[in-house]
Homo-oligomer: A and B are copies of this chain.
């Protein structure tokens, strides 16, 4: 069941090289040969693991999307409840390992593989469900509020992955203020 370490190593090497190249040039400009050369892997081995460079991108985007999906519920509850300190600390910890890759992949926008869009879609669904569960007094457009909440969370995520853990002070206050403003028109009857 557990696979051969050689497979783990080659996939790791190919993915690391791929991210390195993506940090230097656009996805379209990168060739399979580039990836193999940078990772000291033969092309025949590349094709034993992936259909093509699109498949490699797909799998990586799917991988990080899945990791994010596992955390979305927790993070969402935190921002609703106002645990901004915990939220920022948790996000930072989650991203610690994957920071570099996620940051680079956020710059890639292919029709069938867009990590940033995936994150945004997941958050938007959460907001829509959350609002649908409330019993509202307001006549404000709820889709607008959902979009606003999503944007705030995405901006926070992008901030965290592109800034050092040391420079996160002061973030909490800003986020909390905006969070309250977003939730302001969601007064419930209950």
Contact = CB atoms under 8 A, between A and B. Distances in A.
Contacts of A40: 5, 8-9
A134 interface: no
Q: Give the size category of A's interface with B.
A: under 10
A42 interface: yes
A7 B9 CA distance: 14
Each complex incorporates copies of this chain amounting to: 2
A100 to B, nearest CB: 18
Interface in A90-137: none
Contacts of A5: 40-42
A5 B40 CA distance: 7
Contacts of A41: 5
A8 B9 CA distance: 14
Nearest to A36: B5
A9 B38 CA distance: 12
A8 B41 CA distance: 11
Interface string A1-30: 000010011000000000000000000000
A42 B41 CA distance: 19
Contacts of A9: 40
Interface of A: 5, 8-9, 40-42
5 contacts: A5-B40, A5-B41, A5-B42, A8-B40, A9-B40
